[in-house]
Amino acid sequence: MTNFVFETTPRIVCETGAAARLGDLAKELGMRHAMIVTDRGLIEAGVLNSALEGFKSAGVSTTVFTDVLADPPEESVLSATEAARAAGADGIIGFGGGSSMDTAKLVALLAGAPQALTEVYGIGLARGPRLPLIQVPTTAGTGSEVTPIAIVTTPTQEKKGVVSPILYPDIAVLDGTLTVGLPARVTAMTGIDAMVHAIEAYTSRHKKNPLSDSLAVKALELLYTNIRKVIADGSDLPARSAMLQGSLLAGMAFANAPVAAVHALAYPLGGHYHVPHGLSNALVLSPVLAFNRSAAETPYAELAQVILPQRSFANAAEAADAFIEAMRTLVAEMPFEQRLSEVGVGADDLDMLARDVMNIQRLLINNPRDVTEADARAIYASVL
């Protein structure tokens, strides 16, 4: 038997219309005054309306923090923490994409047990207790509702992570209706992000285990089968719900079998050029898959059977090639930028980006194949 430890969010509510019950769920956790951490776009779009009514009905007062920023910078996290303290919040609701949920995790941590944010970067340095926490994703991408990780952008534009089991929320709420209005471009970026989570968890060099494998396989099946449907018709609720579930399963997988080179190469793009995280992953996915081909033939062949079940292959080599090509084709179909030059990267930037990648060893060590600085530069150059 394979020895492994598996952790995840203890309670998951997957239910159409569940956002309206958030007040009751918050009350069950003992919240009397919840701070909802979200962004202005969701407020303006009315996505939060049913949830706010639910809090009112449940007798739970709320403060809404709407100043979440993409790739949350330190000052944004600290501002949200101060707002929670000032409001006397006794519980936190993360409502939105990965940036909102990551911010919510850190607010629950820092407001619950005062400590310096800069002192908890890394693995296992956070200390509790934290405030009760519910996470509600409105994109099918990050899986942050079931991961113990929060990513912050430092003043030097580095991406740093706080990694601790304390960051698992008490409850994750999946409501497919919250994703119906998501624009096609955002749907595509977040969907590819979730698929990268599944692929990298399945091929991770460290902590890969039978449970994470099973979750990654099912996640990839759901995501690959439905992403074209939701791009073509954003109102397809069954497909939207399937994407949300796929994102959750991929999050559960990579929280236990960590991601690797795709994410490592994506982070400098987000830090320096503010490229959305899902797009950063998508831009480097195909060349990283090709780079890993020699070391990951068997798992790539197995994943080919998941996304191309109708095809038969002569051998593992053919199947692995088909998997890489299928993913390349899918990314090429997506309604977002396809080259680094389209997001502001120039040839003169490649050396700097490659150097930055080498600082992300916590991810590179999980890659099926060792990555050198020259390798990183070549991968960037191939999609310039």
pLDDT tens-digit profile of 27-62? 999 999 999 999 998 999 899 999 999 999 999 999
Q: 268 in the Ramachandran plot: left (φ > 0), alpha (ψ -120 to 50) or beta?
A: alpha
What pLDDT does 15 receive? Answer: 94
Cα first-last separation, the chain: 45
The band of 367, judged by pLDDT with boundaries at 50, 70 and 90, is: very high
Residue 202: the pLDDT is: 98
- Tell whether the model's pLDDT for residue 298 goes beyond 80: yes
Domain ranges of the chain: 11-178, 184-382
In the prediction, which pLDDT does 158 show? 83
| Four-way CATH pick for 11-178: 3.40.50.620, 3.40.50.1970, 1.20.1250.20, 3.30.465.10 | 3.40.50.1970
Lowest mean pLDDT among 9-18, 148-157, 273-282: 148-157
d(CA 136, CA 172): 6
Residue-wise pLDDT for 251-270, tens only, equals: 999 999 999 999 999 999 99
Residue 251 confidence (pLDDT): 97
Sheet strands (E) in the chain: 11-14, 33-37, 61-65, 91-96, 122-123, 133-137, 149-153, 159-163, 171-174
pLDDT of residue 75: 94
Average pLDDT over the chain, rounded to whole? 96
pLDDT the model gives residue 354: 98
Residue 308 has pLDDT above 90, yes or no: yes
Q: Under CATH, which number does the domain 184-382 receive?
A: 1.20.1090.10
pLDDT digits (tens, 9 = 90+) for 105-128: 999 999 998 899 999 999 999 998
pLDDT-derived band at 296 (thresholds 50, 70, 90) equals very high
CA dist., res. 299 & res. 53, Å (int):
47
DSSP 182: -
DSSP category for residue 67? B
pLDDT band at 70 (very low <50, low <70, confident <90, very high): confident
Write phi, then psi, for 150 (nearest 5 degrees): -135, 130
Q: Is the pLDDT of residue 235 over 90?
A: yes
